[in-house]
Amino acid sequence: MERRDFLRTGFVAAGGVAVGAAGVSQGADASSAAAGQGVATLSLTADGGLVVSSVRAGGSAKPTSVEVRRGVPGRRWVMVIDLAACDGCGKCTDVCAKSHFIPGDREFIRLFNMQESTDTAPYWFPRPCFHCDNPPCTRVCPVGATFKRQDGIVLIDNERCIGCRFCMAACPYSARSFNWSPPADPAPAVARGYSPEWGYPRRVGTVEKCDFCADMAREGKLPHCVSGCAMTALWFGDENEDAVTNSKGDTVRLSKFLRDRAGFRYMEELGTKPRVYYLPAANRRSAAPGEPGANVSNSQRRREQR
Amino acid sequence: MKRSAIERDLLATLDPMVRRGRLWIGGLLAVCAMACVAWTVQLVYGLRVTDMRNYVSWGMYMTNFVFFIGISHAGTLISAILRVTDAGWRRPITRMAEAITVIALVIGASMVMIDMGRPDRLLNLLIHGRFQSPILWDLVSVTTYLSGSFLYLYVAMIPDMPMLATHARERGRSPRLVRFYEMLSLGYRESPQHRRLLARALGAMAVIIIPVAISVHTVVSWVFGMTLRPGWHSTIFGPYFVIGAIFSGTAAIITAMFLFRRAYHLERYLRPEHFHKLAKILLALSLLYAYFALSEYLTTWYGGVATDWRLLELLAGTGPVGAAFWLWAVFGLFVPIGLLLFPSHRSMGSIVTASVLINIGMWVKRYLIIVPTLQTTFIPAEAAGINPHYFPSLVECMITAGAVAAFLLFFTLFSRLFPILSVWETVEDAEDAARVAVRAPGPTPAGKRVRAVPAVTVALLIVAGALVLAPWTAASAQTLSGVPAGAHAGAHAGAHAAAPAAVPTVPATSIAHIELERTSEDGQEMLVATVTVNGQPVAGATVAFSVARSFGIMALGEDQTLADGTAAVPYPEGLPGNARGDLDFSVTMLSPPALVTAPVQVTIGGAERPLAAPAEVPRALWSSRAPLAIVGTIAFLLLCVWATYGFVVVQLTAMYHLNGEG
């Protein structure tokens, strides 16, 4: 059997777990029957709840507003970024931009060329939204347009946002962007219809940012940036499962990974409790910024193209 | 001075406009119309027409907002504080000051609306308002302040209304205007009862408007202070902004006095002594503001935190921001202080020059508080090759010019409709002066009113303290339950040792049979696979163990089967299962090739269960439900203030009914 098929079986099995968890938390009887059939035979139609509603077959069914605000029950999405593996190729930014139809003036995951001091080595620093557990952005929102879900994701409802941009001022990581002009979304973006879980079609005068690909996670798929990272620098998973997975399908225990590799969160002292962990850029696998053979940052590349 | 002479002089300001006045109004209207065009352009093309971008996301509009709210403090200081302390010289100034408050508040609040990306969704603030957001605090306190200053301005105008009605009738003005004045007069007459009710209403308003005004600028500062940004996240921001507001408000009142004195020939009433008394206050405030600015910059500089230093290097640097900063420091602060410092050199000209410089300087200062901080981010934008620059665009400048023009226009129109100097208070002033010439004045009713001040102020201070403290206590108790599930390794060991293994159907082509179970060997939890072919154990086969996770299969290890056909790896202690505590394991035969088969999947219970998310959203700063302490504090504060407003309205109603009895 091919490794790929093997993985897919795993996905279905895990999907079954998700269905079971969803069912239990909703108190539905069907879930136990579904789980009882065994993990290998699970189908996504077993439980009428959340999983079915997010299946993207042809046209995707939208999660209800209650589901969007609550998140996927029983989950605590988490990301790990291995700074030692990142080579600054900018693929994450590109893949993200493509899948979210992002206009050229913004990046949801931005690549920084960091250097703490002149005596220390520079390194690449991809920065998505940190989906903080104590988010400064949702605190200040006057209308609850940006909100924190039980599965850890921080989203924005552009049908409620009044465009005051207080959240942009409050985010210490500059992770948020604004629709300064009326949007020019391509046809597929318009056709899908709006949900805060994917953030398009856009609306002028509203704020947007990285959404952790909430719709993908709901389906048991990795975010676009993670699956698009050829360097396997990005890992994504569920803290409640104590596991993160990279683009090659390697799955490791989150707690052990962070312990062994001395994981940290960016600017822990701010108390925002990010849901994105970094692994230090020790023993880098490729050239650091500025070294011979190193990549250039995305924005730099874009500027040079112009 | 005779009462009739005062009335004649002060009501002369309401005479039909001369040509110069019409040109002035026309010019202001033209600038306002230009601003309306600019705003329309902005509504159609979005905020792209400004120079604000994702890094510098607030700019000139927010600067104007803080500036006008600051100017609005003129009314509070001059009018309320001087009224409460019964400073007689305030009398010709109060009306002007109170009008500045109302007009500046309206303009300031509208700047926020212009800054909004979706002004069409303004009502969301009422429908979905979150009391954890400083913007809601702003909304509530500015609304309260605007209502209060409107009421305050009106109450102090009531005694002039009957006279205005008479004056309008005598001059043959439109009957509608006469009726308008009569309606506003509430039937006020010069009688002891009317005087008493008026004094009570004015006394209450003068007291309550002071804490309300302080709260407004404190809350405005908290829009910045509550964020984690360098240069904003400062504990002195509340008082710093309040002092800055009173400072710029006083400068604004001096400027306005000068202009009205010139335009309406009020030299006999707005005398040099008024300018000199205000100049002393202005000097004190400018020194106080210099002290606050020094405290702010010196502590951040001395502390030397890297991000703070990047901001200070920008502020004191050689770029346009640095130039603006030094121009402000020299011409907005030190030169005015120099002009005001020496009594011997304090002339009307130097006082007014200082005031104008301070007004411009304080606008620049607000700009320097807002923009450079947004350029100084924790993760430097420069590290991504981005230069977070900002320079106001034409649209922003036009709208700002329109805001200034609208302010002047409203002020001019107000002065055309009502005498810009309070007639009854000026008369009172003249009568007092005459009485002083005869004998020393006895205790005034104001002395009695003041007694209510300490109690109310102390209560408000306590509540304000509670408001500040409450969020932190509430927030620390309630953070979303994150479950580092893997941290509880071994807690369940032995509870489900050797759970029954479920064996799925093996494909027909396969002859190997695998069973998986969890056992305890020598105190260690193990996963044991038993490989058999036709009931006979297979030795030397390589078996791989793994467990399913949402996004992939986590390898647990490999082992070779022993003579009894068993292979084992340690059980993944502490690995959380699903909601029922089940883990989905897979066993794969890697060798010998003849036995390689599809992975066999077995669900074994007894694993950790992830903690269920709380059934309802907690009350927290970041959540959709506000901590009760915040809601309660705001409700209580509002109740105190609005109850006082209610008391004032009751006095006015009583005044209106007195008329019926008489």
For the segment B23-78, what is each residue's pLDDT rounded down to a tens digit? 999 999 999 999 999 999 999 999 999 999 999 999 999 999 999 999 998 877 77
B222 contacts B202 by C-beta, under 8 angstroms = no
Are residues B635 and B595 part of one domain? no
Residues within 8 A of A (CB atoms), B 274-303 only: none
Query: Distance (Å) from the C-alpha of residue B145 to the closest C-alpha of chain A?
Result: 19
Please indicate if any CB of chain B lies within 8 Å of the CB of A136: yes
Question: Strand B552-560 to strand A250-253: parallel, antiparallel, or no bridges (unpaired)?
Answer: parallel
Q: What span, in angstroms and rounded, lies between the C-alpha atoms of B249 and B67?
A: 9
Query: What does the CA dihedral B200, B202, B203, B206 come to, rounded to 10 degrees?
Result: 160
Please indicate if any CB of chain B lies within 8 Å of the CB of A147: yes
SS3 content of chain A, % helix, strand, coil (to 5): 35, 15, 50
Domains of chain A, first to last:
3-48 (no CATH), 77-305 (3.30.70.20)
On the question of pLDDT at B569 being above 50, the answer is yes
Q: What span, in angstroms and rounded, lies between the C-alpha atoms of B478 and B474?
A: 7
B317 contacts B331 by C-beta, under 8 angstroms = no
Q: Which residue has the higher pLDDT, B189 or A222?
A: A222
Are residues B427 and B574 part of one domain? no
Look at B381 and A174 and tell me if their CB atoms are within 8 Å.
yes
CA dihedral (A164, A167, A172, A177) positive or negative: negative
The predicted model gives B236-264 an average pLDDT of 95
A22 contacts A240 by C-beta, under 8 angstroms = no
Question: What tokens were used for B160?
Answer: 């002039």
Are residues B370 and B504 part of one domain? no
B516 contacts B602 by C-beta, under 8 angstroms = yes
- B399 inside domain: yes
pLDDT grade for A49, boundaries at 50, 70 and 90: very low
Look at B383 and A140 and tell me if their CB atoms are within 8 Å.
no
Number of domains in chain B: 2
A138 contacts A148 by C-beta, under 8 angstroms = yes
Query: What does the CA dihedral B38, B42, B43, B45 come to, rounded to 10 degrees?
Result: 130
Residue B605 makes CB contacts below 8 A (sequence gap 6+) with B496, B499, B577, B580, B581, B582, B583
- B221 inside domain: yes
Backbone φ and ψ for A66, nearest 5 degrees, come out as: -65, -45
Count the helices and strands in chain A (H runs, E runs): 12, 13
On the question of pLDDT at A235 being above 80, the answer is yes
Q: Residue B350 to residues B20, B281, B353: CA-CA distances in angstroms?
A: 27, 15, 5
- B609 inside domain: no
| CB burial readout B233-261, b (16+ within 10 A) else e | bbeebbbbbbbbbbbbbbbbbbbbbbebb
Taking CB atoms and an 8 Å cutoff, what residues of chain A touch B601?
9, 13, 38-40
- B520 inside domain: yes
Exposed/middle/buried for B344, CB within 10 Å: 0-12, 13-18, 19+? Answer: exposed
Look at B603 and A162 and tell me if their CB atoms are within 8 Å.
no
pLDDT grade for B660, boundaries at 50, 70 and 90: low
Query: Distance (Å) from the C-alpha of residue A261 to the closest C-alpha of chain B?
Result: 16
Are residues B79 and B48 part of one domain? yes
B574 contacts B489 by C-beta, under 8 angstroms = yes
**Contacts by residues A96-99 (CB-CB < 8 Å, ≥ 24 positions apart):** A96/A210, A96/A224, A96/A225, A96/A228, A98/A224, A99/A213, A99/A224
- B440 inside domain: yes
Question: What tokens were used for A163?
Answer: 């465009």
Question: What tokens were used for B143?
Answer: 């609304």
Per-residue model confidence (pLDDT) at position B486: 35
B560 contacts B541 by C-beta, under 8 angstroms = yes
Nearest to B375 by CA among B305, B307, B301: B307
Q: What span, in angstroms and rounded, lies between the C-alpha atoms of B83 and B75?
A: 11
Residues in chain B, overall count: 662
Please indicate if any CB of chain B lies within 8 Å of the CB of A190: no
Are residues B472 and B338 part of one domain? yes
Please indicate if any CB of chain A lies within 8 Å of the CB of B227: yes
On the question of pLDDT at B351 being above 50, the answer is yes
Look at A9 and B601 and tell me if their CB atoms are within 8 Å.
yes
Per-residue model confidence (pLDDT) at position B440: 47
Per-residue model confidence (pLDDT) at position B20: 87
User: Residue B291 half-sphere exposure, CB side, CA atoms within 13 Å?
Assistant: 9
- B7 inside domain: yes
Are residues B530 and B434 part of one domain? no
DSSP string, B492-551: TTTTTTTPPPPPPPPPTT--EEEEEEEEEETTEEEEEEEEEETTEE--S-EEEEEEEETT
Work out the end-to-end distance of chain A between its first and last CA atoms, rounded to an integer number of angstroms. 48
Please indicate if any CB of chain A lies within 8 Å of the CB of B581: no
Residues within 8 A of A (CB atoms), B 46-85 only: 46-48, 50, 52-55, 57-58
Query: Distance (Å) from the C-alpha of residue A165 to the closest C-alpha of chain B?
Result: 7
Q: What span, in angstroms and rounded, lies between the C-alpha atoms of A61 and A49?
A: 12
On the question of pLDDT at A298 being above 70, the answer is no
Please indicate if any CB of chain B lies within 8 Å of the CB of A290: no
Look at A74 and B377 and tell me if their CB atoms are within 8 Å.
no
For the segment A53-79, what is each residue's pLDDT rounded down to a tens digit? 333 333 457 899 999 999 999 899 999
Query: Distance (Å) from the C-alpha of residue A140 to the closest C-alpha of chain B?
Result: 4
Residue A58 makes CB contacts below 8 A (sequence gap 6+) with none
Taking CB atoms and an 8 Å cutoff, what residues of chain A touch B384?
110-113, 297-299
| CB burial readout B306-342, b (16+ within 10 A) else e | ebbebbbebbeeeeebbebbeebbeebbebbbebbee
Question: What tokens were used for B189?
Answer: 């007459």
On the question of pLDDT at B475 being above 70, the answer is no
**What is residue B49's DSSP assignment?**
G
Structural domain that includes position B224 = 3-477+629-661
Are residues B504 and B473 part of one domain? no
Question: What tokens were used for A106?
Answer: 């913004």
Query: Distance (Å) from the C-alpha of residue B393 to the closest C-alpha of chain A?
Result: 14
Q: What span, in angstroms and rounded, lies between the C-alpha atoms of B312 and B332?
A: 19
For the segment B420-437, what is each residue's pLDDT rounded down to a tens digit? 999 998 888 888 878 776
Residues within 8 A of B (CB atoms), A 247-286 only: 249-256, 266-267, 270, 272-273
Residue B116 makes CB contacts below 8 A (sequence gap 6+) with A162, A163, A164, A205, B122
Q: Quote the distance between the C-alpha of residue B234 and its chain's center.
A: 14
Please indicate if any CB of chain A lies within 8 Å of the CB of B147: no
Q: What span, in angstroms and rounded, lies between the C-alpha atoms of B147 and A282?
A: 61
Look at B45 and A182 and tell me if their CB atoms are within 8 Å.
yes
Q: What span, in angstroms and rounded, lies between the C-alpha atoms of A260 and A158?
A: 40
Are residues B259 and B121 part of one domain? yes
Mutation pick from B43, B50, B113, B118 vs chain A, by most beta carbons of A within 10 Å, is B118
Please indicate if any CB of chain A lies within 8 Å of the CB of B502: yes
For the segment B164-218, what is each residue's pLDDT rounded down to a tens digit? 999 999 988 899 999 999 999 998 988 899 999 999 999 999 999 999 999 999 9
For the segment B293-304, what is each residue's pLDDT rounded down to a tens digit? 999 999 999 999
Look at B58 and A39 and tell me if their CB atoms are within 8 Å.
no
Question: What tokens were used for B401?
Answer: 């010019």
Nearest to A110 by CA among A303, A245, A297: A297
A40 contacts A16 by C-beta, under 8 angstroms = no
User: Residue B273 half-sphere exposure, CB side, CA atoms within 13 Å?
Assistant: 7
Look at B613 and A39 and tell me if their CB atoms are within 8 Å.
no
Q: What span, in angstroms and rounded, lies between the C-alpha atoms of B289 and B361?
A: 12
Q: What span, in angstroms and rounded, lies between the C-alpha atoms of A237 and A251?
A: 9
Q: Which residue has the higher pLDDT, A30 or B238?
A: B238
**What is residue A72's DSSP assignment?**
S
pLDDT, mean over chain B: 87
DSSP string, A119-157: TS--EEEEE-----SS-HHHHH-SSS-EEE-TTS-EEE-
pLDDT, mean over chain A: 82
Per-residue model confidence (pLDDT) at position B593: 81
**Of the partner residues B55, B122, B598, the one whose CB lies closest to the CB of residue A174:** B55
Look at B121 and A160 and tell me if their CB atoms are within 8 Å.
yes
Residue % of chain B over a pLDDT of 70:
88
Q: What span, in angstroms and rounded, lies between the C-alpha atoms of A54 and A215?
A: 7
Are residues B532 and B428 part of one domain? no
Query: Distance (Å) from the C-alpha of residue A267 to the closest C-alpha of chain B?
Result: 9
Mutation pick from A17, A225, A265 vs chain B, by most beta carbons of B within 10 Å, is A17
Please indicate if any CB of chain A lies within 8 Å of the CB of B18: no
| CB burial readout B95-107, b (16+ within 10 A) else e | bbbbbbbbbbbbb
Query: Distance (Å) from the C-alpha of residue B599 to the closest C-alpha of chain A?
Result: 8
H runs (alpha helix) in B226-347: 237-264, 272-303, 306-315, 320-327, 335-341
Are residues B643 and B533 part of one domain? no
Query: Distance (Å) from the C-alpha of residue B195 to the closest C-alpha of chain A?
Result: 44
Nearest to B64 by CA among B388, B371, B414, B411: B371
Are residues B435 and B579 part of one domain? no
On the question of pLDDT at B465 being above 80, the answer is no
- B240 inside domain: yes
**Of the partner residues A136, A147, A180, the one whose CB lies closest to the CB of residue B228:** A136
- B195 inside domain: yes
A84 contacts A55 by C-beta, under 8 angstroms = no
- What CATH number should be reported for the domain holding residue B583? 2.60.40.1940
Nearest to B151 by CA among B93, B87, B101, B211: B101
Residues within 8 A of A (CB atoms), B 531-560 only: 548-555
Q: What span, in angstroms and rounded, lies between the C-alpha atoms of B207 and B453?
A: 6
- What CATH number should be reported for the domain holding residue B455? 1.20.1630.10
Q: Please count the residue pairs, one from chain A and one from chain B, whose beta carbons lie less than 8 angstroms apart.
A: 301
Per-residue model confidence (pLDDT) at position A256: 96
Q: Which residue has the higher pLDDT, B578 or A54?
A: B578
What are the residues facing B557 on neighbouring strands? B545
pLDDT grade for B495, boundaries at 50, 70 and 90: very low
User: Residue B650 half-sphere exposure, CB side, CA atoms within 13 Å?
Assistant: 8
Nearest to B533 by CA among B513, B506, B549: B513
pLDDT grade for A48, boundaries at 50, 70 and 90: very low
Question: Complex ipTM, two decimals?
Answer: 0.85
- Taking CA–CA distances from A259, the nearest residue in chain B reads B487
Question: What tokens were used for A122?
Answer: 């520079």
Backbone φ and ψ for A14, nearest 5 degrees, come out as: -65, -35
Are residues B342 and B312 part of one domain? yes
Residues within 8 A of B (CB atoms), A 230-249 only: 236-245, 249
Q: What span, in angstroms and rounded, lies between the C-alpha atoms of B366 and B245?
A: 10
Taking CB atoms and an 8 Å cutoff, what residues of chain B touch A172?
227-229, 377-378
**Of the partner residues B54, B485, B548, the one whose CB lies closest to the CB of residue A14:** B548
